[in-house]
């Protein structure tokens, strides 16, 4: 499993959906006055629906060990960066966890401070910034989901999703807003062989598409209930959700007779510049990369450990590895994507009328 992850750059497009910020977790001015607190702005997916996620366990253990309370704010990858930008003159958070390319955008906007967490030496060079501005804490892969109760014959290809039977039963999160939504473009351009054929396909798919969604995470409950039959997502988040949503199944679309494909979609963490509690932020980053926390990534979080010295053997790890059997893991041209992402988003808007 890790042999795939090792090859992936954290410039991989990510994910994740633009979810509503959890107001009750907001740091605010109270955090600034409390020395035993650390505020985390994070992309969704690592906190459980019912308090059983990786974040839930790790944060509880961190609070018990250090006495530092974690205040948690959740949203989409882009939204978390945007919020940090708005607060740049009065920084409220200490740690940012988001998906590529949003972690790189945060760095480019001067939001991150250099800090190499303990254990970062066990993270592949491709999975962290060379200047220690961020490092992967959970590895992951892009994927789709379908309702396995409603679809006895599950979809295998992009082309099948054009069938009238899927009309208003497909939804994917918004490219340019949600990381996973942007990843739909990246995978489509890879699978169809370029921007023009990918946009032509997505234009045709629009007939069956329900419409834009700022949140990828909110699509899974709709698929589980049968309101949707197919949606986009990512392996870690959807695998974790499937524990409480029994009708979810993960799949990777192929083009025609080709192999199903996917690419790495890791969660990357960095210390915010001018963080009100930077020392607490450093302690939390150390804890997220500790051996104890990393061993729980698969067993509790349904993801893949970022540290290469952690060899997970739990039941979840075995099942997760099995999901990727036969899937071609590709690495997009991230230099091109970084330069032309706005162009690709505009092309998608034009093609779909979004």
215, 76 Cβ separation under 8 angstroms: yes
Please state which of the ranges 169-173, 254-258, 283-287, 301-305 shows the lowest mean pLDDT. 301-305
pLDDT in tens, 54-105: 999 999 999 999 999 999 999 888 889 999 999 999 999 999 999 887 888 8
Give the C-alpha separation, 193 to 329, whole Å: 16
Q: In this structure, are residues 190 and 344 in contact, taking their beta carbons and an 8 Å threshold?
A: no
Number of neighbouring beta carbons within 10 Å of residue 29: 11
Q: Yes or no: say if 112 and 133 are a contact pair by the CB < 8 Å rule.
A: yes
pLDDT, mean over the chain: 89
| pLDDT at site 91 | 97
Query: Does 270 or 24 have the greater pLDDT score?
Result: 270
- Residue-level pLDDT at 19: 38
pLDDT at 14 over 80: no
Taking CA atoms, 29 is separated from 72, 79, 276, 343, in Å, by 14, 20, 10, 39
% of residues, the chain, pLDDT over 90? 72
pLDDT above 80 (res 6)? no
Global pTM value:
0.80
In this structure, of 107-111, 142-146, 179-183, 322-326, the range with the lowest mean pLDDT score is 179-183
What pLDDT is recorded for position 34?
56
- What does the pLDDT look like over 100-139, one tens digit per residue? 878 888 998 999 999 999 999 999 888 899 999 999 999 9
Residue 271 CB burial class (10 angstroms; 0-12, 13-18, ≥19): buried
- 191-209: average pLDDT: 98
- From 5-14, 113-122, 310-319, the region with the lowest mean pLDDT: 5-14
Instruction: Answer yes or no: is pLDDT of 157 > 80.
Output: yes
Q: Check residue 125 and give its pLDDT.
A: 87
CB 73 within 8 A of CB 21: yes
Query: Distances from the Cα of 71 to the Cαs of 50, 120, 206, 216, 295, in angstroms?
Result: 17, 24, 39, 23, 23
Res 171 pLDDT > 80? yes
> Which pLDDT belongs to residue 336?
79
Highest mean pLDDT among 2-6, 76-80, 314-318: 314-318
**Does pLDDT of 18 surpass 90?**
no
Percent of the chain at pLDDT exceeding 70: 90
d(CA 31, CA 87): 14
pLDDT on residue 40: 98
For residues 90 and 27, the answer to whether their CB atoms sit within 8 Å is no
């Amino acid at each position: 499993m890790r042999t795939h992850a090792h090859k992936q750059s954290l410039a991989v497009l990510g994910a994740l959906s633009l979810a509503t910020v959890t107001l009750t977790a907001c740091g605010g001015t109270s955090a600034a006055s409390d020395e035993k607190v650390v505020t985390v702005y994070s992309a969704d997916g690592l906190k459980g629906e019912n308090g059983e996620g990786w974040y839930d366990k790790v944060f509880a253990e961190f609070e018990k060990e250090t006495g530092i309370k974690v205040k948690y704010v959740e949203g989409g990858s882009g939204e978390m960066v945007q919020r940090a930008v708005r607060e740049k003159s009065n920084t409220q958070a200490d740690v940012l966890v988001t998906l590529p390319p949003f972690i790189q955008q945060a760095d480019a906007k001067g939001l991150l401070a250099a800090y190499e967490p303990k254990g970062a030496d066990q993270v592949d060079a491709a999975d962290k910034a060379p200047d220690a501005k961020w490092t992967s804490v959970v590895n992951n892969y892009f994927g789709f989901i379908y309702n396995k109760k409603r679809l006895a014959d599950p979809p295998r290809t992009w082309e099948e999703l054009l069938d009238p039977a899927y009309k208003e039963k497909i939804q994917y999160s918004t490219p340019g807003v949600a990381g996973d939504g942007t990843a739909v473009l990246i995978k489509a351009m890879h699978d169809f062989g370029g921007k023009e054929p990918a946009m032509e396909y997505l234009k045709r798919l629009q007939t069956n598409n329900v419409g834009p969604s700022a949140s990828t995470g909110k699509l899974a409950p709709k698929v589980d209930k049968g309101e949707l039959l197919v949606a986009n997502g990512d392996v870690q988040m959807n695998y974790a959700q499937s524990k409480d949503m029994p009708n979810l199944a993960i799949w990777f679309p192929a083009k025609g007779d080709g192999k199903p494909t996917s690419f790495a979609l890791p969660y990357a963490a960095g210390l915010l510049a001018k963080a009100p509690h930077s020392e607490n932020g450093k302690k939390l980053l150390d804890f997220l990369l500790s051996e104890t926390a990393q061993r729980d990534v698969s067993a509790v979080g349904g993801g893949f450990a970022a540290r290469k010295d952690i060899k997970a053997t739990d039941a979840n790890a075995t099942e997760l590895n099995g999901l990727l059997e036969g899937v071609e893991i590709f690495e997009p041209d991230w230099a091109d994507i970084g330069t032309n992402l706005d162009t690709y988003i505009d092309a998608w808007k034009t093609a779909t009328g979004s």
